[in-house]
Amino acid sequence: MDEEKDRITGNEIPEDIEDTAEFEKMDFEGESEPEVADESASEAPEEPWARRKYVPPAQDERPLREPEFRVRGGSYPPEPQRRGIGAMTAIAIALVFTLLGTALGIHSAYNILPGTALFENSKLGKLIAESQTKTEYITTPVVATEGLTIPEIVDMVKPAVVTVTSQVPVGASFFNPQGGTEEVIGTGFILNEEGYIATNYHVVEGSVELKVILYTGEVIDASVVNYDALADLAVIRITGDIEVPGVVKLGNSDAMRVGETVVTIGNPLGKEFAGTVTAGVVSALDRTISIGNSSYQYIQIDAAINGGNSGGPLINGNGEVVGINSAKISDSTVEGIGFAIPINDLKSKLDVLSQKALYVGIAGREINAATARQRNMPEGILILEIQEGSPAEESDLEINDVITEFEGKEVKTVSELNTLRDTKKAGDTITLKVYRNGEYVQIQVTLRERP
């Protein structure tokens, strides 16, 4: 019956095994066949095999490895392993929920919240409502329809441009013990039919003989009418009765814009290059440049100018003169930086500069506040030289006098003195207050035209 039970349960007992001792020798860890007992071995126990049956190992004694293990017709599956949620799976799930939350938030912000009273009464809602009620206008810049081509500008202005030649004295030297004169060349432009010409003061400074070369090539004598040394401006005039070949039109330098096209005409490097035309743009306005002891407000341009261009016209796109070419930065590493005096500076002084200059006949030095404290004297103009035959020589002015007032108005600089002088006319007698030897005295001077 036991045998029958074993067969039913699947624990079939091999027929060639007669003894339990031989049964225990089987290898339960592998698949090998059990060894057959040798007939010559010691006799097996008398107990019949039927009374012994195979008992499977306890549950906790079974192998834990994945593959199945079989024991001659009997088998059992491996214990299933429990698995947890992996790290990557957790990250993926979190990312999905984050995206869903963001999408719902955006949807609410654009479609749900704007329609609520809470949102409309918030600062953001009120700001959006105000911006939606504003009307913005976009304007298109007006394109200028006026303007000339560069050849048209040249044809219009070039006949009024002249070459200015000035003979200035030079001191004696080892190679020239007698001294003499040297020629200074610049440019100018004709202002009116009477033959008045504008140029730079440094072109005619110290001139003892002045000539102009017209557009036609004709050489004409000229003389200095008046000048403003501090502004580097001068007006000269053709002598004799002659018909001028052209007259310029003065523009408004205050209306200039950075980037607009400008043209220059002049005589760079000498007579051989007379009438040279260059073009460029306005690089900057109101450039403050110091030259020597003076500062100037210039228009900066990138048009090429060189020695000999000084006094020539700077012309805008309408053919109007808007500046007087005056200076450039002289450096081998610098190109395209030139400067011009705004034409409005000349226009504001033209009435005075077109009249014969009055003069006092002194050369002096300005005494500023620091020097005045150091030397225990008032601020003013210290007289260092009195010209022979001048109104100053004919008056009681003396060297080392300090001029402090002109007709009761305080003067501290030469510019202030000249400005007041230019309000007078030839033959006027003015009163100067001067400081001399620790006290103030009043001196009368009669003005005359500069010879």
Q: What is the mean pLDDT of residues 33-54?
A: 49
Q: Which pLDDT tens digit goes with each residue over 56-94?
A: 555 555 555 544 444 444 444 455 555 555 667 767 777
The answer on 257 and 231 residing in a single domain is no
Q: What is the mean pLDDT of residues 32-36?
A: 46
How confident is the model at residue 22, as a pLDDT?
A: 45
Q: Is residue 6 part of a domain?
A: no
How confident is the model at residue 258, as a pLDDT?
A: 93
Per-residue pLDDT band at 436 (split at 50, 70, 90): very high
Do the bridges between strand 321-328 and strand 362-367 make them parallel or antiparallel, or are there none, so unpaired?
A: unpaired
The answer on 189 and 223 residing in a single domain is yes
> Is 202 considered catalytic here?
yes
The answer on 199 and 233 residing in a single domain is yes
**Residue 195: CATH number of its domain:** 2.40.10.10
Q: Is residue 400 part of a domain?
A: yes
> Is 232 considered catalytic here?
yes
Q: Is residue 335 part of a domain?
A: yes
Question: What is the DSSP annotation of 179-214?
Answer: -EEEEEEEEEEE-STT-EEEE-HHHHTT-SEEEEE-
Q: Is residue 403 part of a domain?
A: yes
Active-site annotation holder among 166, 207, 283, 310: 310
The residue with tokens 């506040």 is 369
The answer on 368 and 443 residing in a single domain is yes
Q: Which pLDDT tens digit goes with each residue over 16-26?
A: 444 444 444 44
Number of domain units in the chain = 4
Q: Which pLDDT tens digit goes with each residue over 337-390?
A: 888 999 999 999 898 888 888 889 888 889 999 999 999 999 999 999 998 889
The answer on 332 and 278 residing in a single domain is yes
pTM for this structure? 0.59
Q: Which pLDDT tens digit goes with each residue over 245-270?
A: 999 999 999 999 999 999 999 887 77
Which whole-number Å values give the CA distances from 130 to 117, 121, 247, in the listed order? 16, 12, 60
Q: Is residue 117 part of a domain?
A: yes
Q: For residue 396, what are the domain limits?
A: 358-449
Active-site annotation holder among 202, 253, 395, 401: 202
Q: Is residue 367 part of a domain?
A: yes
The answer on 377 and 336 residing in a single domain is no
The answer on 343 and 364 residing in a single domain is no
Active-site annotation holder among 228, 232, 345, 401: 232
